[in-house]
Chain A
């Protein structure tokens, strides 16, 4: 899950973050911090479950933290940006990436209900082996829609699409953060698998927890969504487009 060799440092107060952020000295944004916390929590949970008899109190506290972050992400941050920027190509990629999320969670929900740990471990093992696929993913982002259409949801494709997804994520956060693309990519070079992990972990372990990503998307189609930053009027067309895709899939 973490790219080997990259130092992960936590945000605390005014501490500078060294290592991955080649030269950027700034307090990380709230979303970055939250994402980092989520990653850390998921790793802890995974380690918890690798122990034969986990410390129940610790597991429950970490799981509650994950759920809290996920709920907050559903309400604002992550899904808000879908409405903000709109360039033709970029929007398609973004929609593709959200579709991937929905598919993966649905795949888990309806198909094989494997215990969360084993799926997560498989992802984990997949991660270790797949560093090379990430380098080719940047070139093949155009391939993404076609992969989806063919609906071959094997492990190998999963890895490839993770790379694509990461690219899309970069664009998403780029628009949100108004930072230079390079720095954002550096920031998120570790983060690419997190959404998959979140999905597999949460569907496997806490199947009653709302699948926030999908639910978040669904709320977009309803007029009651609170999106403070969005220009609702100008993006209504896009909203319809999103709803169309949801309905189709």
Chain B
């Protein structure tokens, strides 16, 4: 199994898609309730697997383009088929996943095994009939959106109009129509005329969940810009600019790096947005630009280790974050296969571990604690014992229920609230 690089529930939560470093997409489907097998309710089983992207070679630059899937975004379901967008560094593809459970039999021109029948042997005409067959799930690429990005794509986001979507790379954001593959509009361009003057890049972008003219993008300097596409064709000038003033007492050479935002997500309500930087998660009210309304420390005990984390490159890890369906809780990953959940109302937080050793199937997860100094209590783990190779970068929360998907390197864990 390959390293999972993205996890995403669809709009109903029945399907869960994962993309991996090898360019594959695996879709899981939730089992329907079944009285004869009560334990299987809510279990996710493999529904479809397909190769979305292959490694490519850019002949002009003599570069290999990685097939790793950076992001998957589902389209809202409009008919029996499911559609999703998947992207690697350079190319976005629209995939149609459809079920086939009937097969036509009794063709006139060909045999059952597909061979063409000799025209002279056809003596009568018949109407083919549909017969049931074993369920087959087919994935086919319907659109390929290519050659629009010079730099690496880090985000895609489907618009609430269900007709357009945006794709963002380090320096530019493009607007696409789902039906049109040979054209896209460039709506943000922060590339300086002289590349040597480059000091800031785009790290994530997302459309507002309800206002189809509004989107945000975050930067490596810890700022978020909200743009309104009605104001001008090129949204280089933001409508709102979100930045928290720096705390001068905690300034260090790493301040900028740890302020770089790795993920930005609107709340389902559309009233708030959440940003993830290296050490914290911040919730912003869209009406207040000068500071976030809530800040949650994910692993503050790493602040004194920043130099080591810079040395081993962990400081550049890009963690994602997600909201639950009601926007009352948020979740993000950490190291040592830990992930953290914060309840916005009660202000309680919990650290859990996604690993086979520490949890059996159906066992309730035990909260974990990291000991920062002094005496280590039983069951606590000290900061120096944390495994920084086991990082949880990608997590997803079911849109309605308390079911979460956590990607730990090449393993996918699905947890749900215990059923009383």
Residues of A participating in the B interface, judged by any CB pair closer than 8 Å: 10-13, 33-34, 37, 40, 44, 52-53, 55-58, 60-61, 63-65, 68-69, 205-208
Cα(A6)–Cα(B256), bound, Å? 30
A209 CB, min distance to chain B CBs, angstroms:
8
Q: Is the CB of B316 within 8 A of A61?
A: yes
Q: Is the CB of A57 within 8 A of B201?
A: yes
Chain A residues with Cβ below 8 Å from B305 are 12-13
Q: List 9 A-B contacts (CB under 8 A).
A: A12-B306, A53-B61, A57-B203, A60-B200, A61-B256, A64-B199, A68-B253, A68-B256, A208-B196
With A65-B253, A208-B197 in contact, do A12 and B304 touch (Cβ < 8 Å)? yes
Chain A residues with Cβ below 8 Å from B304 are 12-13
Q: Is the CB of B220 within 8 A of A61?
A: yes
Chain B interface size, as a band, is: 20 to 34
Q: Is the CB of B220 within 8 A of A60?
A: yes
18 additional A-B pairs beyond A55-B152, A205-B196, beta carbons within 8 Å, are A10-B308, A13-B305, A34-B253, A37-B307, A40-B310, A53-B63, A56-B201, A57-B170, A57-B201, A57-B220, A58-B316, A63-B199, A64-B256, A65-B254, A65-B256, A68-B256, A208-B194, A208-B197
Per-position binary interface string of chain B over residues 236-253, scored 1 when its CB falls under 8 Å from any chain A CB and 0 otherwise = 000000000000000001
B388 within 8 A of A: no
Chain B residues with Cβ below 8 Å from A65 are 253-254, 256-257
Q: Is the CB of A60 within 8 A of B308?
A: no
Chain B residues with Cβ below 8 Å from A64 are 199, 256
Cα(A33)–Cα(B253), bound, Å? 11
B219 CB, min distance to chain A CBs, angstroms:
10
Q: Is the CB of B199 within 8 A of A12?
A: no
Chain A residues with Cβ below 8 Å from B253 are 34, 37, 65, 68-69
Per-position binary interface string of chain B over residues 167-208, scored 1 when its CB falls under 8 Å from any chain A CB and 0 otherwise = 000110000000000000000000000101111110100000
B232 within 8 A of A: no
Q: Is the CB of A207 within 8 A of B260?
A: no
Residues of B participating in the A interface, judged by any CB pair closer than 8 Å: 61-63, 151-152, 170-171, 194, 196-201, 203, 220, 253-254, 256-257, 260, 304-308, 310-311, 313, 316
Closest A residue to B201 using CB positions: A57
Cα(A61)–Cα(B220), bound, Å? 7
Residue from A12, A52, A57, A69 within 8 A of B62 (CB atoms): A52
Chain B residues with Cβ below 8 Å from A206 are 196
User: Which 4 pairs across A and B sit closest by C-beta, in order of nearness?
Assistant: A10-B307, A56-B170, A13-B304, A57-B201
Q: Is the CB of A61 within 8 A of B257?
A: yes
Closest A residue to B89 using CB positions: A53
Q: Among A52, A55, A64, which residue has the most Cβ atoms of chain B within 10 A?
A: A64
Cα(A44)–Cα(B311), bound, Å? 9
Q: Is the CB of B260 within 8 A of A57?
A: yes
Q: Is the CB of A60 within 8 A of B201?
A: yes
Chain A residues with Cβ below 8 Å from B152 are 55-56
Closest B residue to A33 using CB positions: B307
Chain B residues with Cβ below 8 Å from A61 are 220, 256-257, 260, 316
Closest A residue to B311 using CB positions: A10
Cα(A207)–Cα(B196), bound, Å? 7
Chain A residues with Cβ below 8 Å from B62 are 52
Q: Is the CB of B196 within 8 A of A60?
A: no
Cα(A44)–Cα(B316), bound, Å? 12
Chain B residues with Cβ below 8 Å from A60 are 198-201, 220
Cα(A202)–Cα(B196), bound, Å? 10
Closest A residue to B262 using CB positions: A57
With A65-B253, A68-B253, A205-B196 in contact, do A56 and B151 touch (Cβ < 8 Å)? yes
Cα(A208)–Cα(B310), bound, Å? 26
Closest B residue to A207 using CB positions: B196
Closest B residue to A209 using CB positions: B196
Chain B residues with Cβ below 8 Å from A58 are 316
A35 CB, min distance to chain B CBs, angstroms:
12
A67 CB, min distance to chain B CBs, angstroms:
8
